A and B are shown apart, each in its own frame.
Chain A
Amino acid sequence: MNDLYNNAVGHWVVVVVAMALLLFVVLTATAYTVWFERIALGRIQRRPGPNRVGPAGLMQLAADGVKLAFKESFIPEKTDRVIYVLAPAIGVAAAFLAWSVIPIGLWDYYGPKIQYWIADVNVGVLVIFAASSLNVYAIVLGGYSSNNKYSLLGGLRSAAQLISYEMALGLALVPTFMIVGSLRLRDIVEYTVTWGPYNGPIPLILLTPVGFIIYLISATAETNRTPFDLPEAEQELIGGFLTEYSGLKFTMYYLSEYLNVITVSTLAVLLFFGGWYLGPIPPIVAFLFKVVIMIFVYIWLRGTFPRLRYDMLMRLGWKVLLPLAMANVIATAVVLVAVT
């Protein structure tokens, strides 16, 4: 494995294969996240959810995908065509970009030591934030170029919301970096402590519980999901920035939304729940298990809470989460200095 990886051509072959594999895995995961969400929301409301296409409705997404692909991709008059077509593509590209640095796990039990990631960047978390911030361009540009007042309002709301919560989101993770001393996702996962007899990796939520709560709320807002789905508040804004989109362009927005859900869930697992470490369980299984639990938490939140009013959303972001995140940073700093 190492011989192949360490020469120029072999390196690129490995990276390209890994990218193709990741694209396939993540797209499939997205499809089944949508299925999982529909089933889970259904159960919460005591409905069965999709159960017609394939066993347990598992082929529902294939049916939906075919239907969306064959729909007319309508472009309204007087839109800014270039931006209108480009915006959903930006959304999907940004959503996939984050996956370039997400480590999925290590296989060091038997046979060759395999690492599941594309790039092990030493500022991994920053790359993910940069990519997830690009998502706002997709929404704002889509809303602006649609030439529709509802789209524009949805886009504007989204911009304000994302900027407000980006701050709290970033600050919520600062204590983690302070404790670990690295922005590399792999280092964060493999952070080990020696507590009396125990020596090994721990879920960092034990050290930064407040950070996790802020992360959970801000990440929900970042992905525009209920109870923070203001950009597409149906009752007020029809479809928000999605109003004028149909067919494959709509699919791309839809895809990026669920990709982002998986991304933030994965990130939560990596940053707060010890990534692929879970006792003797094989890393990839442990990792998947944790990610599914996190995705369920997001679906659970969606199934429980009603949408916040816009001024409440802003107040929560600026007056509650941001000061709380700052206080968390300061408190962590004080504790760190006191301990070391």
Chain B
Amino acid sequence: MADEKKDKDEKQPSVAGDIGALLTGLKTTLRESFRPVVTTMYPEDKTPRSERYRGRHYLRRYDNGLERCIGCELCAAACPVGCILVIAAENTDENRVSPGERYAKTYEINMLRCIFCGYCEEACPVQAIVLGPEYELSDTSREKFIYTKEKLLEPLPPDVQARLDAKGVPSPQPSPLRGEGASSPPPSPRPGEG
């Protein structure tokens, strides 16, 4: 059943060798066709990602529900493409959002611009912003790519949370605040600005 092409007999001395090569090729393809398929059935199965994978951003909260972000804008400054917009506002006793003096009143990331370099995560003094594992970010309009604070504050996937905990990021101590005045700094990093 071999496709024995009696070709090349002028050029090369061994016709039998050439036909043998053709048979080897046929054998190889037949053998390969019985080996398991290597395709990952993408939408159902996904290839594993590195645990340091940099996907979409999350803003974190302390366990007591206060936002970590203190509105320092270091992330916006570190961002090479300028996709982060932070507008800070003062915390007051009546309206305490974060443990520090200030909090981010507006926090927007333009995901169309973001290059997922992770500099914002490195720059953040309070580990407020992290890059999560999601990479399927397609959407139907440009406006939907401006991720607002509400969207960014969605709870982290548990595996990312576990990773951050394991990394020894200062575990969110129960903030002493909420009703005790704005004097206490946030847990470990440098005390709030100003």
Write the residues of chain A forming the contact surface with B, with a CB cutoff of 8 angstroms. 40, 42-48, 51, 213, 216-217, 220, 297, 300-301, 303-305, 312, 315-316, 320-321, 324
A305 & B37 in contact (Cβ 8 Å cutoff): no
* Closest chain B CB from A52 CB (angstroms): 10
A46 & B5 in contact (Cβ 8 Å cutoff): no
In angstroms, Cα B19 to Cα A217, docked, is 13
Give the contact-size bracket for chain B: 20 to 34
A47 & B39 in contact (Cβ 8 Å cutoff): yes
Picked from A44, A51, A213, A324, the residue with its CB within 8 Å of the CB of B33 is A44
Closest chain B residue to A303 by CB distance? B29
A305 & B25 in contact (Cβ 8 Å cutoff): yes
Q: Is B38 in the interface zone, CB < 8 Å from A?
A: yes
A315 & B7 in contact (Cβ 8 Å cutoff): yes
A sample of 29 cross-chain residue pairs with beta-carbon separation below 8 angstroms, ordered by A number, consists of A40-B33, A44-B32, A44-B33, A45-B32, A46-B35, A46-B37, A46-B38, A48-B37, A48-B39, A51-B41, A213-B2, A213-B3, A213-B4, A216-B3, A217-B3, A217-B5, A297-B1, A300-B29, A301-B3, A303-B29, A304-B28, A304-B29, A305-B22, A305-B25, A312-B8, A316-B6, A320-B7, A321-B6, A324-B6
4 A-B pairs with the lowest CB-CB distances in the bound complex, closest first:
A43-B33, A304-B29, A44-B33, A320-B6
- Interface flags, B1-34, vs A, CB<8A=1, else 0: 1111111110000000000001001101110111
Collect the chain B residues with CB atoms within 8 Å of residue A220's CB. 3
Q: Is B36 in the interface zone, CB < 8 Å from A?
A: yes
Collect the chain B residues with CB atoms within 8 Å of residue A44's CB. 29-30, 32-33
Collect the chain B residues with CB atoms within 8 Å of residue A315's CB. 7
Q: Which of B145-173 contact A (CB under 8 A)?
A: none
Collect the chain B residues with CB atoms within 8 Å of residue A47's CB. 37-39
Closest chain A residue to B27 by CB distance? A304
A46 & B32 in contact (Cβ 8 Å cutoff): yes
Q: Report if A300-B32 is in contact (Cβ < 8 Å); known contacts: A43-B37, A316-B7.
A: no
B36 & A320 in contact (Cβ 8 Å cutoff): no
* Closest chain A CB from B25 CB (angstroms): 5
Collect the chain B residues with CB atoms within 8 Å of residue A316's CB. 5-7
Q: Report if A304-B39 is in contact (Cβ < 8 Å); known contacts: A213-B4, A315-B7, A320-B9.
A: no
* Closest chain A CB from B12 CB (angstroms): 13
Q: Which of B47-68 contact A (CB under 8 A)?
A: none
Collect the chain B residues with CB atoms within 8 Å of residue A324's CB. 6
Collect the chain A residues with CB atoms within 8 Å of residue B6's CB. 316, 320-321, 324
Closest chain B residue to A324 by CB distance? B6
Closest chain A residue to B6 by CB distance? A320
* Closest chain A CB from B20 CB (angstroms): 14
* Closest chain B CB from A247 CB (angstroms): 30
Q: Report if A320-B3 is in contact (Cβ < 8 Å); known contacts: A46-B38, A300-B30.
A: no
* Closest chain B CB from A158 CB (angstroms): 20
Collect the chain A residues with CB atoms within 8 Å of residue B8's CB. 312
* Closest chain B CB from A168 CB (angstroms): 12
Collect the chain A residues with CB atoms within 8 Å of residue B33's CB. 40, 43-44, 46, 303
In angstroms, Cα B32 to Cα A303, docked, is 11
In angstroms, Cα B30 to Cα A267, docked, is 24
Closest chain A residue to B22 by CB distance? A305
Q: Report if A46-B29 is in contact (Cβ < 8 Å); known contacts: A216-B3, A315-B7.
A: no
* Closest chain A CB from B16 CB (angstroms): 14
In angstroms, Cα B30 to Cα A42, docked, is 12
Collect the chain A residues with CB atoms within 8 Å of residue B29's CB. 44, 300, 303-304
In angstroms, Cα B6 to Cα A47, docked, is 32
Closest chain B residue to A315 by CB distance? B7
Collect the chain A residues with CB atoms within 8 Å of residue B1's CB. 297
In angstroms, Cα B39 to Cα A325, docked, is 44
In angstroms, Cα B38 to Cα A139, docked, is 38
* Closest chain A CB from B45 CB (angstroms): 12
Closest chain A residue to B26 by CB distance? A304
* Closest chain B CB from A304 CB (angstroms): 4
Collect the chain B residues with CB atoms within 8 Å of residue A301's CB. 3, 26
In angstroms, Cα B64 to Cα A316, docked, is 81
Collect the chain A residues with CB atoms within 8 Å of residue B5's CB. 217, 316, 320
